[in-house]
Chain A
C-alpha cells in the first residue's frame, strides 16, 4: 500500500488535499444540485404519494453514516497495526460527521415511517442496529474527549471502532436475517434495482452528493486537525 503511506506525511497530505479540495467541493455542489432538481421533479409514488421524496434524504444519509463508520474502522486498523500518523487524525475527524449523518438517517427515517407504517419508531432489527450505530459514534467522541493523552486516546478509540464495526454487517443484513418492518434491499440486489428510474436517478445523485459532501468536509476536518496539532507543538516549543 505505498500510495496510502505517501499520504502519511502531513505536509504531503496538505499539499495534495489542497489541490483536490476545490474539485471535490465543485463535484459535491453539482451532484447535490442534480439530485435536488431531479428529486423535486419526481412524481408522487402511486402508493406512498409525496412521502417517497423523503427517500432522497433518508437513504443517502443512512448510506453515508455506514460508509463513515467503515472508513473509521479502516483508519483504526491502520492506526493500530501500522501506526499510520494520519490514520488517527482521519478517524477523529470523521466521527462527528458520522454521528450527524446517522442522526439524519434516524430522523428522516422516522418522518418517513410515520405516514408509511403509522409509527414514528419500531424496535425493528434494522432500526435498532442503526440506533446502535449512533451510540457507537457518540461513544467514540466521548472516549476521545475523556482521554487527554493523544496516543492513549487514539489506541482506545481504534479498539472501540474495530469492535463496533461488527455492527455494520448486522445493519446491512438485518432485513435478510430477521423479519423486519423495514423494507429489504431494493437497489444493490441480484436482478437489478426494483425501483423506477424516475426515483432511482435522483436517489443515485443524492447518494453521490452526500458521499462527496462527507469526503469534502472530512478532508477539511483532517486539514484542520493537522494544523491544530502543528499549532499546539509550536506553542509547546515556545513555552519550553
Chain B
C-alpha cells in the first residue's frame, strides 16, 4: 500500500527534479559554448 502511495511518488518527483536540473545545466552549457565559439570566429 505505502509503496504505490508514497515510495513511487518520492522516486518519481526525485527523478523529475534531478532530470530537469541535469537537462537545464547541460543545455545552458552547450548554448554558452556555441555562443562563445560564434563570437570568437574571426
State whether B17 touches A231 (Cβ < 8 A): no
Say whether chain B's binding surface is mostly helix, strand, loop, or mixed.
helix
CA A165 to CA B27, docked complex, whole Å: 31
Residues of A within 8 Å of B17, CB to CB, are 100, 103-104
Q: Find A54's partner among B10, B29, B32, B35 (CB 8 Å cutoff).
A: B10
Residues of B within 8 Å of A108, CB to CB, are 10, 13-14
| Closest Cβ neighbor of A109 among chain B residues | B10
State whether A231 touches B32 (Cβ < 8 A): yes
State whether A61 touches B14 (Cβ < 8 A): yes
Shortest Cβ distance from residue A26 to the other chain B in the assembled complex, whole angstroms: 15
Query: Which of A111-119, A138-146, A149-157 lines the interface with chain B?
Result: A111-119
Q: How many residues of B contact A (CB 8 A)?
A: 24
Contact mask for chain A residues 50-69; partner B; CB cutoff 8 A; 1 contact, 0 none: 11011001100100000000
State whether B10 touches A213 (Cβ < 8 A): no
Q: How many residues of A contact B (CB 8 A)?
A: 32
What are some 11 contacts across the A-B interface (CB < 8 A)?
A: A54-B7, A104-B14, A104-B18, A108-B13, A114-B6, A115-B5, A221-B28, A227-B36, A228-B32, A234-B39, A238-B39
CA A208 to CA B21, docked complex, whole Å: 18
Residues of A within 8 Å of B11, CB to CB, are 57
| Closest Cβ neighbor of B18 among chain A residues | A213
A220 touches B (CB below 8 Å): yes
Q: Find A49's partner among B2, B22, B25, B28 (CB 8 Å cutoff).
A: B2
State whether A224 touches B28 (Cβ < 8 A): yes
- Tell me the A residues contacting B by CB distance below 8 Å: 49-51, 53-54, 57-58, 61, 96-97, 100, 103-104, 107-108, 111-112, 114-115, 213, 217, 220-221, 223-224, 227-228, 230-231, 234-235, 238
CA A138 to CA B18, docked complex, whole Å: 18
A224-B7 contact given A100-B17, A231-B36, CB 8 Å threshold: no
CA A96 to CA B24, docked complex, whole Å: 11
A112-B10 contact given A50-B3, A217-B25, A223-B29, CB 8 Å threshold: yes
State whether B2 touches A221 (Cβ < 8 A): no
Kindly list the 6 A-B residue pairs having the minimum CB-CB distance in the complex, ordered from nearest: A227-B32, A111-B10, A234-B39, A50-B3, A54-B10, A224-B29
Residues of B within 8 Å of A234, CB to CB, are 36, 39-40
| Closest Cβ neighbor of A48 among chain B residues | B2
A115-B32 contact given A217-B21, A220-B26, CB 8 Å threshold: no
